[in-house]
């Protein structure tokens, strides 16, 4: 469990209601619109790399998504159904991130820093 600077256990992340429409790349998290990333591409402790394979990088959808990533340091993590599917099973929560890299060829990378809020069930 994470600890605070004084060695005490950090409080659990606050619950937040997260809503989004199937196929949207941006969701509402407690009144804030945030980009949604897939837990499928979350590797290791904090590494995230989405290859964005097959995505039209010139589309408005992709451009809006990248703009949302660039305007804040928070994202919604989506729980995928697994077995190669990127279909949403639910949401994990809101996470902070740093070191965002948007490759002109498509891949998006970042380091997740901390869970800010858990998805309310």
Q: Is residue 4 part of a domain?
A: no
Residue 99 is assigned to a structural domain of this protein: yes
pLDDT one-digit tens code per residue, 81-102: 886 788 888 999 999 999 999 9
Instruction: Domain of residue 61: give its range.
Output: 14-119
Residue 58 inside a domain? The answer is yes
71 assigned to some structural domain: yes
- φ/ψ (deg, to 5) at 2: -60, 150
30 close to 17: Cβ distance less than 8 angstroms: yes
pLDDT tens sequence across 30-68: 999 999 999 999 988 899 999 999 999 999 999 999 999
Paired strand residues for 76: 36, 94
Burial 84-110 (b: 16+ CB within 10 A, else e): eeeebeebbbbbebeeeebeeeeebbb
**6 inside domain:** no
Domain count, the chain: 1
Question: Rounded to whole angstroms, how far apart are CA atoms 26 and 67?
Answer: 11
- Residue 8 is assigned to a structural domain of this protein: no
What CATH number has the domain bearing residue 99?
2.30.130
Domain assignment of residue 67, yes or no: yes
Sign of torsion over alpha carbons 29, 35, 39, 45: negative
Query: Does residue 26 lie in a domain region?
Result: yes
pTM here?
A: 0.86
């Amino acid at each position: 469990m994470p600890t605070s600077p004084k060695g005490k256990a950090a409080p659990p992340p606050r619950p937040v209601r997260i809503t989004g429409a199937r196929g949207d790349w941006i969701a509402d998290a407690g009144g804030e619109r945030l980009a949604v990333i897939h837990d499928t591409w979350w590797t290791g402790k904090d590494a995230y790399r989405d290859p964005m394979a097959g995505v039209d990088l010139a589309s408005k959808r992709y451009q809006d998504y990248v703009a949302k990533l660039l305007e804040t340091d928070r994202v919604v993590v989506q729980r995928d159904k697994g077995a190669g599917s990127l279909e949403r099973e639910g949401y994990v929560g809101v996470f902070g991130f740093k070191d965002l890299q948007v490759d002109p060829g498509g891949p998006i990378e970042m380091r997740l820093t901390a869970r800010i809020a858990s998805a309310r069930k």
